[in-house]
Structure 1
Amino acid sequence: MFLIADSGSTKTDWRLVDTNTGHSLAIQTDGFNPYYQNAQQIAATLQAQLLPHLKQASLTKVFYYGTGCTGPSVNYIIADALHLVLPGLQLVEVNSDMLGAARAAMGHQSGIVCILGTGANACCYDGTTTICGIQSLGFWLGDEGSGGYLGKTLVRDFFQDRLPAELQEAFQNQYALDRPTLLENAYQKPFPNRYFASFTPFLFTHLTHPYIAQLVTDAFVLFLTTYVKRFPEASQWPVHFVGSIAYYFSDLLQQAVKQTGLTMGRSIKAPADELVDFHKNG
């Protein structure tokens, strides 16, 4: 048996794959980021949330794709955590979430892939590996178009009285958010990107309102022009999207893609099942 993990900042989708039957079991745990957590912290969450689902499974391999897994200098944190919880593993491969998204969306075909979930990123893919990208600077300095960015923009507009009156009232009624609570979550508590992304359901609920539709579309256009349009391949290759934001706001995303002169590819909510097929088929 082997495990596949697709980990974002908010959640991790796992698939336990039986190599004899081809069947897979879906498991979900909290998300991980080696820039914010050490191996012991990650192992504690795996022990509590993942291990009970594995029972007596004879695991030999883990293929892990995750946010923050940008290279050996941080990837070892995930690998160490997995070995702490699953000491009998023969192989642990830790790769970036971008490579996972590319393999899920395109298999061995070339193209451009974007992640639009709690965070955001984009890269080119030659069918084997990611070949170019623009360095993501994370939540505070980037992540345009992501759930964190959309939520941050909405909350900022609320506190600066930029929302139309009916939206201002609806937001206050739903969240009763005050400035001290906002600033505590933004600057003192961990994972501010998760916190701000938690406001995206409000955007989805009010998506037919012109102000909200414009806010979301502008964020997508900014993402595409900042990252994707700068790739030389953007005029030739389709652009694929992975993540909950891309999935739930797909109509506005397609408008933004058209507006920026790009070609829309696939849109996948979560890549875990496609990654199962990729690793089963080689």
Structure 2
Amino acid sequence: MILIADSGSTKTNWALIQNKEVVNIIKTDGINPFFRDLEDISDELEKVLVPQIYGKVTKVFFYGAGIINNVKGAGVKRLLQDFFPEATIAAYSDLLAAARATLGKQKGIACILGTGTNSCVYDGEKIIDHVSPLGFILGDEGSGAVMGRKLLGDYLKKVMPEVLRNKFKAEYNLSGTEIMERVYRKERANLFLAGFTKFIYDNIETEYCTDFVLAEFNAFVDRNLLNYEAVNSYPICFIGSVAFYFQQILKEVLNSRSLICGTIIKDPMEGLIHYHKNLGN
């Protein structure tokens, strides 16, 4: 059996495949070695994942946020090897997951537009060029976290149109002090900020929200995609909730810049299953 994992900071989806058929989908908490201790992750897997797996696992393909270098990847591989001692274990970045899920074996540019952002040039097998997204403080243009940060700034500085400000206040009832506390003193501020993209989506018919998203997607193109020499030659594919729910505006931005819009999906699991069933090893 083959086990495929698509892991973010908040949740992990596992697909168990036998004879090219998906026999079980399992959900656990996020496995991000950048933020979570490996012992904590091990406890989670022992309690939730292992009891739902019947039979011998021969290969594990783990794709995750936080697999930013060989050291982090090696830690996850050792952890998984303890649970599946007879399996071949591979640990990859979530960016390679985006590339394989949307492009398969084709050349192209793969992007993540969700809570955070990322992008790369993919040659059909591996990532060959990459612009660092820099996180939601220094970069992450077009991400949910950056949209939320700027939206809150507009709200607190009264830049947001009054009608929308009143609507925002009625919906969230957050004081400036509460917002500052959540952003500067509490953990995982990026997730808190990204939660406000729902307000933008719910009010996307307003000029303010439409222009807001347009500006962020144009910034993503300018500060990330245009750094790739191949940007005009390859399809540009996306995974992530921001790309998926705002795809009409995203396509408009790419078309206006004469860029080739490829596949846009919410999450990579279906594409990863197809890749490993039919294309990968």
Range that drifts further, 34-43 or 246-255: 34-43
1:76 corresponds to 2:68: no
Residue matched to 2:13? 13
My pick for the range that moved more, 102-111 or 41-50, is: 41-50
TM-aligned CA deviation for residue 82 of structure 1: 2.8
Q: Is the 8 A contact 2:4 2:14 kept in 1?
A: yes
One-letter amino acid of the counterpart of residue 138, structure 1: G
Q: Does 1:153 align with 2:176?
A: no
For residue 121 of structure 2, the aligned residue among 116, 120, 124 is 124
* Contact 2:109 2:231 (C-alpha < 8 Å) held by counterparts: yes
User: For the residues of structure 2 that align with 1:193 and 1:32, how far apart are their CA atoms?
Assistant: 17
C-alpha distance in structure 1 between counterparts of 2:195 and 2:218, whole Å: 22
Matched-pair contact (CA < 8 Å) for 1:8–1:118:
no
Q: What CA distance in whole angstroms lies between the structure 1 residues aligned with 2:104 and 2:162?
A: 47
Alignment match of 2:160 (pick from 157, 160, 163): 163
Distance 1:52 1:140 in 2: 40
Pair 1:21–1:4, CA change in 2 (3 A): closer
Could you tell me which residue of structure 1 aligns to residue 40 of structure 2? 41
Report the 3-state secondary structure (helix = DSSP H, G, I; strand = E; otherwise coil) of the residue aligned with 1:234.
coil
CA distances 1:10-43 after superposition (whole Å, capped 9, x unpaired):
332221212x361242233332322222212222
CA deviation after TM superposition for structure 1 residue 87, in Å: 4.6
Alignment of 1:62-211 (within 5 A): 62-84=60-82, 86-211=83-208
SS at match of 2:190: helix
Tell me if the contact between 2:236 and 2:263 (Cα under 8 Å) persists in the aligned partners: yes
TM-score by structure 1 length?
0.92
Residue in 1 that maps onto 2:58:
60
Match of 1:269 among 259, 266, 269: 266
Letter in 2 for 1:61: K
State the match for 2:248 in structure 1: 251
Contact 1:104 1:275 in 2 (8 A): yes
- Matched position secondary structure for 2:152: helix
Deviations 1:52-80 (A, max 9, x none): 433x3432322111122122122223224
Cα displacement (A) at 1:48: 4.3
Is the alpha carbon distance of 1:162 and 1:187 closer, same or farther for their aligned partners in structure 2, counting shifts above 3 Å? Answer: same
For residues 150 and 76 of structure 1, what CA distance do their matches in structure 2 show? 34
The answer as to whether partners of 2:101 and 2:275 remain within 8 angstroms in 1 is yes
Displacement after TM superposition at 1:136 (Å)? 2.6
Q: Is the 8 A contact 2:81 2:87 kept in 1?
A: no
Return the alpha-carbon distance in structure 2 between the equivalents of residues 103 and 257 of structure 1.
21
Offset at 1:229?
Answer: 1.2
Percent of pairs with identical residues: 37
Instruction: Find the aligned partners of 1:31 and 1:162 in 2 and give their Cα distance.
Output: 36
* AA aligned opposite 1:15: A
Alpha-carbon RMSD: 1.8
Distance 2:48 2:159 in 1: 41
Residues 160 and 24 (structure 1 numbering): CA distance in 2 closer, same or farther, change over 3 Å?
farther
SS at match of 2:61: strand
Q: TM-score, normalised by structure 2?
A: 0.93
1:89 is displaced (CA, Å) by 4.8
Structure 2 residue runs of 5 or longer lacking an equivalent are none
Q: Would you say how many aligned residue pairs link Structure 1 and Structure 2?
A: 279
Preserved contact between residue 151 and residue 199 of structure 1 (Cα < 8 Å): yes
For 1:133, give the aligned amino acid: H
Tell me: CA distance 1:104–1:21, structure 2 relative to 1, closer, same or farther (3 Å).
closer
Partner of 2:26: 27
1:83-108 alpha-carbon deviations (Å, 9 max, x no partner): 45x25352221111111111111110
Q: Shift of the alpha carbon at 1:220?
A: 0.7
**Structure 1 53/173 Cα, relative in aligned 2: closer, same or farther at 3 Å?**
farther
Instruction: Give 1:115 deviation, angstroms.
Output: 0.5
Query: 1:219 and 1:176, CA in 2 relative to 1: closer, same or farther beyond 3 A?
Result: same
